[in-house]
């Protein structure tokens, strides 16, 4: 899910923490943390490599040693966000063993809380797609890959619920999710629980309609 603060270091590739001492983030991680904050708050195109270099307090040589170009950093930023969302959604599924409807409810509640959070600027993947018009660009490929994963995961949950048209219903639920994200970006600031409940009810209506007899 979306976060507006410096995120904790990713464990992979970092030294094993010493008991009683926090692991020191790698330089690559520090660059990614700074980029995550700036890209999300100001927009990807508006943030230059120089701005990130200044924020981290490093030289250009150090920056380009880790990221040969800004697009490489953007791809890494989005892949990091994708993994964060996947972890959150898989966590919701693990929290509801044998209850796929409960997993969907937890996912919707998370989206509701996120879309009402201070500093929320919409879905980082939708934002990135709006800034990169070429569908074949590596940035757009990351966006497309993550959205395919999200839809496939929703399809799996719907299959567990017993929905027949998992693809069609998943498409509608993804649209509901996107609408909540855009609504939050455009200034909707309601009660997270009310927004979550509205999203849950809308999703339930879609599923029930798909299962109604012709």
Q: pLDDT digits over 50-65, tens only?
A: 999 999 999 999 999 9
Tell me which of 71-80, 107-116, 127-136 is least confident: 107-116
Q: Is residue 22 part of a domain?
A: no
Report how far residue 205's alpha carbon sits from residue 93's, in angstroms, rounded to the nearest whole number.
21
Q: Is residue 35 part of a domain?
A: no
Contact 139, 74 (CB under 8 A): yes
Q: Is residue 181 part of a domain?
A: yes
Total domains in the chain come to 1
Q: Is residue 11 part of a domain?
A: no
Q: Is residue 28 part of a domain?
A: no
The pTM assigned to this predicted structure is: 0.83
Model pLDDT for residues 156-176, shown as the tens digit of each residue: 999 999 999 999 999 999 999
Longest dimension (CA), the chain: 65
Q: What integer best gives the mean pLDDT of the chain?
A: 86
The distance from CA 73 to its chain's CA centroid, rounded to whole angstroms, is: 16
Mean pLDDT of 175-187: 82
CATH number of the domain that residue 178 is part of: 1.10.357.10
Report how far residue 186's alpha carbon sits from residue 35's, in angstroms, rounded to the nearest whole number.
23
Model pLDDT for residues 112-161, shown as the tens digit of each residue: 888 888 888 889 999 999 999 999 999 999 999 999 999 999 999 999 99
Q: Is residue 50 part of a domain?
A: no
Q: Is residue 122 part of a domain?
A: yes
Q: Which domain holds residue 104?
A: 71-211
Mean pLDDT of 164-193: 84
Q: What six digits make up the tokens of 32?
A: 């990614």
Q: Which of the 8 DSSP states describes residue 209?
A: H
How many angstroms separate the first and last alpha carbons of the chain?
A: 37
In the prediction, which pLDDT does 74 show? 98
Q: What percent of the chain has pLDDT over 70?
A: 87
Q: Is residue 165 part of a domain?
A: yes
């Amino acid at each position: 899910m979306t976060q507006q603060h410096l995120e904790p270091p990713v464990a992979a590739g970092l030294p094993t923490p010493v008991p009683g001492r926090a692991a020191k983030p790698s330089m690559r991680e520090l660059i990614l943390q700074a980029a995550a904050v700036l890209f999300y708050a100001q927009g990807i195109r508006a943030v230059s490599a120089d701005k990130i270099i200044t924020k981290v307090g490093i030289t250009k040589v150090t920056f380009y040693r880790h990221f040969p170009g800004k697009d490489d950093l953007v791809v890494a930023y989005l892949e990091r966000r994708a993994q964060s969302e996947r972890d959150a959604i898989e966590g919701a599924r693990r929290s509801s063993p044998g209850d796929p409807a409960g997993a969907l409810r937890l996912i919707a509640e998370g989206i509701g809380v996120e879309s009402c959070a201070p500093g929320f600027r919409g879905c980082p993947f939708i934002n990135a797609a709006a800034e990169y018009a070429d569908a074949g660009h590596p940035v757009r490929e990351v966006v497309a890959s993550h959205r395919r994963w999200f839809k496939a995961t929703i399809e799996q949950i719907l299959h567990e619920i017993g929905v027949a048209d998992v693809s069609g219903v998943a498409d509608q639920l993804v649209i509901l999710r996107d609408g909540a994200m855009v609504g939050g970006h455009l200034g909707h600031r309601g009660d997270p629980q009310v927004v979550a409940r509205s999203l849950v009810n809308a999703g339930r209506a879609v599923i029930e309609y798909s299962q109604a007899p012709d």
